[in-house]
């Protein structure tokens, strides 16, 4: 938690304004829409109020919001606060006009911050979706690559090496011998010999 040395003396400024207006701490807290303990810590320099709380306190105390911002050290050249400083010191604007411009400017800044956060979130979601799609496509292509590798290496003509080796082995061994069948003339000769043998046996008997 920040100490009183780290914070501008906006708490003492608010306390002095409250006392000059002759209202109690509880009454100011109710009018500004903050809790009584929170306002007490602001006045004692233990809490640093936000720009919105300072605006509510300025309205309750009937002082300009830029004046409250200046006392709180919020008006500088950082993060667009130079615009608020220019509004606060413009002599041609009334106090009401300065408060209105300050409120409009702060509203625009908050809206732009919300849009920037939404855009960043959408970009992050799109990047995650793209990465998931890429991983899915890679996983789908992997089996096809493995199947192609399983067929083994191929020759420059695209013929698998195993098929070429089998063809060479058949060529070197020669063609398988064709089944042989008895020539018709050999069969006729055997029949004639058997017939002659039978006739000789009949004569001997």
Do the Cβ atoms of 56 and 34 come closer than 8 Å?
yes
Tens digits of residue pLDDT in 17-59: 899 889 999 999 999 999 999 999 999 989 988 888 998 998 8
Residues 158 and 186: their CA atoms lie apart, in Å, by 52
H helices of 3-94, in order, are 10-20, 25-32, 36-43, 51-61, 65-72, 81-89
199: in domain? no
pLDDT of res. 7: 45
**pLDDT score at 170:** 53
In a domain? residue 98: yes
How far apart CA 57 and CA 29 sit, in angstroms, is: 8
- 132 within some domain: no
Q: Confirm if 34 and 53 have CB atoms less than 8 A apart.
A: yes
Domain membership of residue 151 (yes or no) is no
Flag whether 200 is in a domain.
Answer: no
Say which range, 7-21, 54-68, 69-83, 110-124, has the weakest mean pLDDT.
Answer: 69-83
Percentage above 90 pLDDT, the chain:
20
Number of domains in the chain: 1
119 lies in some domain? no
Is 193 part of any domain? no
Mean pLDDT of the region 123-139: 79
Average pLDDT on 177-186 reads 52
For residue 33, the enclosing domain spans: 10-110
Is 187 within the bounds of a domain? no
Output the pLDDT for position 56: 92
CATH number of the domain encompassing residue 94: 1.10.260.40
Angstrom distances, CA of residue 63 to CA of 32, 104, 114, 139, 194:
13, 18, 29, 67, 147
């Amino acid at each position: 938690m920040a100490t009183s040395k780290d914070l501008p003396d906006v708490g003492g400024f608010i306390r002095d304004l409250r006392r000059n207006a002759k209202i109690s701490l509880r009454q100011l807290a109710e009018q500004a829409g903050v809790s009584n303990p929170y306002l007490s810590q602001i006045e004692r320099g233990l809490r640093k109020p936000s720009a919105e709380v300072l605006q509510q306190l300025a309205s309750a105390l009937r002082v300009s919001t830029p004046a409250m911002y200046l006392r709180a050290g919020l008006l500088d050249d950082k993060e667009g606060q130079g615009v608020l400083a220019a509004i606060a010191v413009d002599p041609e604007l009334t106090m009401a006009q300065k408060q209105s411009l300050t409120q409009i400017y702060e509203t625009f800044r908050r809206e732009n911050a919300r849009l920037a956060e939404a855009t960043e979130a959408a970009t992050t979601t799109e990047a995650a979706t793209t990465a998931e799609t890429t991983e899915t496509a890679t996983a789908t292509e992997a089996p096809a690559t493995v199947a192609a590798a399983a067929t083994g290496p191929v020759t420059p003509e695209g013929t698998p090496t195993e098929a070429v080796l089998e063809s060479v082995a058949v060529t070197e061994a020669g063609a398988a011998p064709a089944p042989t069948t008895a020539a018709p003339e050999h069969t006729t000769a055997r029949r004639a010999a058997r017939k002659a043998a039978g006739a000789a046996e009949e004569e001997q008997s």
